[in-house]
Chains A and B, each alone.
Chain A
């Protein structure tokens, strides 16, 4: 996203300047509207300063204190960060988050890509796309509750099916081994349709005649997928991939409803750990330090994203 910003306005301004030299005199009013501009910007700038810029500075400061939410904060320097290095729960949270992200991203992207390709080659039905969007529209809290019920060890629908198949029932969310894959599966169910529609939107930009001439040349569907769809989709795929990557680092709602970090910390992801430290244990300072680390981590990921996007830019544009 960021890469586009730097280019578009500059180019636009150049056009305007050229136009101005050639065309008739433009009305003065548009030249300098400082006063109007600041009035237009006032609410957004106030919102930015109060709820984005100031809290960012505040958050970094908190990370250097023993703020408890209740009492006054004492400056403790890098103590929180030092504690972080020896905190097993923190490392576990990082590990568990990484595990979740890997599971979720792979299943969601592969499924979504397949789904988008099927839609692209078969149908343009809006009704079908609308149906695929439903799980994304529903709050994660409801999705979590719904799947807790579907997966309930005794009465859940899924276990009825497994029993009927002779597999035997599983307490999906209560098993330390299965809890995280189950949460990843639930969120894959909730977000695959959305991701597929993003990819589908990208596929619509691929010129149709490429497929037509490939068909005339006798290419099969699989060949068209690997030789046309996949290469031309690379930039869109990269963008969608990284956006959902950063999104899945922030998993919270589903965990908060279904497993609450358990069983035995197997789903205590970093977001949930920060939440617990800040609002259950009242270690606001420590929680802020973890949040700083997470922000840096996501910053690195975003930088990588920019690289990837720039490298794979514009087969289509």
Chain B
């Protein structure tokens, strides 16, 4: 293949490569289109009208009923099981759950990462080593005793119990932020120290503002993981007041009859779980994509 640097010629290989890429993209995105298309279809139409790319009688009723905005009768008429669902509330619970975890975990891990990167104290490397060793313990192993602990504390079905194991720290975030703080030139902090600022002041007023990029990166990654969480909220937040979206979808699925699942309602609920993530992607797209450059490799 001979190719000039400035003007790229359309070789058959290049065309084929682009074609493959387009196929992959379609395969990636199409199921989401089908999700939304199903959510916009009246339940009664689903037998007759399940191949067309566009619904023949588009409707918002499925979204309205999973958001709890219709009466029981209307919901049942539209193909629901008549069970009470209120995805607006679960959506809010999910936002609270992942928001609390993302903000607090990032803050506390930044503090710890800073101490490990910059402050001098006896036993620093040993403590850091022990903390990082926790990366090796598979989550299910700690889930069992943590559940007993939260249960014994009487924190089942409270946000406190749901976020407790993850708000204070996660070994990866401590490790990641420490790596970044190590790369900040010391001179910057020393100038502040000469001005008489204490360790907390240096951290809060100098280091944190300088670290906005990595902090947002780790905060976003944490938000995504918390948003996707299923097992832990399933165990500790079953009740309406604390039920998050993923758990609600599971419950909704079980209430849906086995013979003819409420597919239009299920897809409407699923679409609602994708929506905030899409907003995140639109607002922070470049950042999220580029965050993989650090979190994955280094």
Contacts and interface: CB of A to CB of B under 8 A. Distances in A.
8 contacts: A30-B120, A32-B120, A43-B168, A45-B169, A48-B130, A51-B142, A129-B289, A146-B32
Interface string B261-278: 101001100100110011
A155 interface: yes
A141 B246 contact: yes
Contact of B120 (A31, A53, A133, A221): A31
A142 B141 contact: no
Contacts of A160: 50-51
Contact of A250 (B138, B174, B278, B285): B138
A227 interface: no
Contacts of A45: 112, 127, 131, 169
Contacts of A122: 14, 17-18, 21
A250 B120 contact: no
B136 A302 contact: yes
A264 interface: no
Give the interface size bracket for B toward A. Answer: 35 or more
B142 A41 contact: no
B249 A118 contact: no
Contacts of A168: none
A134 to B, nearest CB: 7
B27 interface: yes
Nearest to A287: B144
B1 A295 contact: no
A217 B288 CA distance: 37
A126 B14 CA distance: 20
B112 A43 contact: yes
Given A33-B120, A197-B292, A295-B141, A137 B25 contact: no
Contacts of A162: none
Contacts of B249: 139, 141-142, 145, 257
B266 A145 contact: yes
A9 interface: yes
Given A33-B120, A279-B235, A291-B144, 19 more contacts: A30-B118, A36-B199, A43-B111, A45-B131, A115-B24, A122-B14, A122-B17, A122-B21, A134-B274, A136-B224, A137-B288, A138-B273, A202-B297, A236-B297, A252-B231, A256-B250, A257-B253, A291-B140, A298-B136
A157 B281 CA distance: 27
A103 interface: no
Given A9-B182, A122-B17, A137 B263 contact: no
Interface stretch (A56-64, A82-90, A94-102, A176-184): A56-64
Interface in A87-141: 114-115, 118-119, 121-123, 126-141
Contacts of A134: 28-29, 32, 274, 277-278, 281
Interface majority SS on A: helix, strand, loop or mixed?
helix
B137 A56 contact: yes
Interface in B83-131: 108-109, 111-112, 114-116, 118-122, 124-125, 127-131
B46 A155 contact: yes
A284 B143 CA distance: 11
B131 to A, nearest CB: 6
B210 to A, nearest CB: 17
A147 B38 CA distance: 13
Contacts of B18: 122
A182 to B, nearest CB: 14
B70 interface: no
Residue among A129, A140, A149, A221 with the highest chain B CB neighbour number at 10 A: A149
A271 B131 CA distance: 24
A212 B111 CA distance: 45
A129 B296 CA distance: 15
Given A31-B120, A40-B111, A189-B27, A198 B297 contact: yes
Contacts of A75: none
A246 to B, nearest CB: 8
Residue among A55, A147, A194, A302 with the highest chain B CB neighbour number at 10 A: A55
